[in-house]
Structure 1
Amino acid sequence: MQIRYCTYTDTGDRPVNEDRLCACRTPAGCCFAVADGLGGLDLGDEAAELACRAVADYAAILPAFSSRALEQMFFAAQQAILERQHALHCESQMKTTLNVVLVGPQAIHWAHVGDSRTYYARGQRLVRRTFDHSVTQMLSAIGQVQEREIRFHEDRSKLLRVLGTPWARSQVEVEADLPLDPPQQLLLCSDGFWEYITEEQIQICLEEADGPELWMENMRELIRRNEHGRPGERDNRTAVAVWIDPEGGAKEEA
């Protein structure tokens, strides 16, 4: 089995990049994460940094990946943020989204909190994605907003679940484990990335790629075209593209 990946992050038109990512190999497999610190609140970048660091540290000591271990990663990230909030007396600040994908020898485990997204493809065909913990996603679920209207809806930035706010473990949305059955592809990305590219366009970029780097390059080119006419509005954008092939040794690209 060969695992290739490509990472990308850009500050956009914001003064600070509040996104963070994690992409690492561990004894249990490969660990990927994207965190997007909440804009409009101070210390969002620190919250995202703490979340990704907690995920990487926890993954490094695991003998094996599992859904239970994935939940514990989110708990560790949450605790790290809450402790830092308490130390700085800033409980109303320092919040972040978090998406994590663990690729083990037998299965793929993934979970999220917030509106960063994970897309999953089988044989270069998009199969599913995570659903945002946001007001607009909720409105879409009950038919008050069309799915295509989520991206630039006036309430899209209003989130229902994030790290850094008191919550129960049940608020972490853990997807059903996927058997490791290459070829498979995954995309983790912050809202600044997916906002300017549709699922149909992600699919087209995937079909035209032979690996994570070209897939990422194709998507970035489409995003540049789609954002034309919106000068000064570019949010931080971060993405990790993962490509799992059936043969060969593990290979990393960044």
Structure 2
Amino acid sequence: RDPQEFLPRSIFRAHEQIQRYAQEQKLTDSPRTTVVVCVLQNGAAHWAHVGDSRLYFMRNGAMLTRTRDHSHVEQQHKKDQLHGLALLQPDGPTRNMLFTCLGSTQLPMIEVGLPQAMRRGDIVLLCSDGLWGQIPESVLVRQFGQQVLSDAVPEVVEMALRQGGADSDNVTALGVEWEADPEELETSLRIETESMQKGGFKSTIQSDLGDLQVEEMDDAAIERSIAEINAAIRQGAGRK
């Protein structure tokens, strides 16, 4: 399956499941959440996100790119950069609000990143705002540049929890290090990343999925999928 199609379909399916749950439970308001997902396929990373859950792509101890939050803060930063202004923290009641999420009455605005070729040693980190909101990006990059992945992930989680204290938000993180060189992969996919500037980010945003037919997914199927993901994570950790 083409990840560029699979990822937004899967995210939209999750959005539908949240709304369905709210209806079944007769909730006055639907639960809402953010999401970031990544598929590594044919030597390339494909990702998509909604809201302010983030993906960081690190190479050789430096940040190559990351996702951009769907928040009023990020919008203001983009405007400031466009006009050559200093990056000031927006003020007002909407400064920390998101303009899209899963579970709301509106279709989620799904941002799909362009695929990026993986090199040996590349690190992909997925995390919630409870992590990146407590740790400066420079510190985050330094931790992953100085430690092996299996030590860096729990370390940054503990750092975020300590920093957040009793009022700490949810802190979730999943990291992957790529261990194959491009020439070791038998693939017809050719992706050029040399021209991408440090910190650059290219994407497409999908807010209208048209006549997308969302497959039904019962609780048992969801649990099986979760079990498969956890098994893959444990298997990968065991090879370290």
Same fold (TM over 0.5): yes
Structure 1 residues without counterparts, runs of 5 or longer = 1-63
Name the Cα RMSD after superposition. 3.0
SS in 2 for 1:70: helix
Q: How many residues align?
A: 184
Q: How does 1:27-106 map to 2 (within 5 A)?
A: 64-90=1-27, 92-106=29-43
| Contact 2:52–2:71 (8 Å) recurs in 1 | yes
User: Would you say 1:116 and 2:60 are equivalent positions?
Assistant: no
What does residue 123 of structure 2 align with? 185
Aligned 8 A contact 1:123 1:182 in 2: no
Q: CA 1:178–1:153 in 2, change beyond 3 Å: closer, same or farther?
A: farther
Give the one of 201, 206, 209 matched to 2:139: 201
Between Structure 1 and Structure 2, the one with more helix by share is 2
Partner SS for 1:207: helix
- Higher strand fraction: Structure 1 or Structure 2? 1
State the structure with more CA Rg: 2
* Separation (CA, whole Å) in 2 of partners of 1:231 and 1:71: 35
**Of 135, 140, 153, which aligns to 2:72?**
135
Q: Distance in 2 between matches of 1:142 and 1:101?
A: 28
- Identity among equivalent positions (%) equals 26
Partners of 2:49 and 2:110 within 8 A in 1: yes
Q: What is the letter of the counterpart of residue 16 of structure 2?
A: Q
Q: Shift in Å at residue 157 of structure 1?
A: 3.6
Q: Is the 8 A contact 1:99 1:116 kept in 2?
A: yes
Q: Structure 2 regions of 5+ residues with no counterpart?
A: 185-231
Q: Distance in 1 between matches of 2:10 and 2:64?
A: 25
Q: Partner residue of 1:242?
A: 176
Q: Quick one: which of 165, 180, 199 aligns to 2:104? A: 165
Query: With CA pairs under 8 Å and 6+ residues apart, which has the higher RCO, 1 or 2?
Result: 1
Other structure's SS at 1:143 match: helix
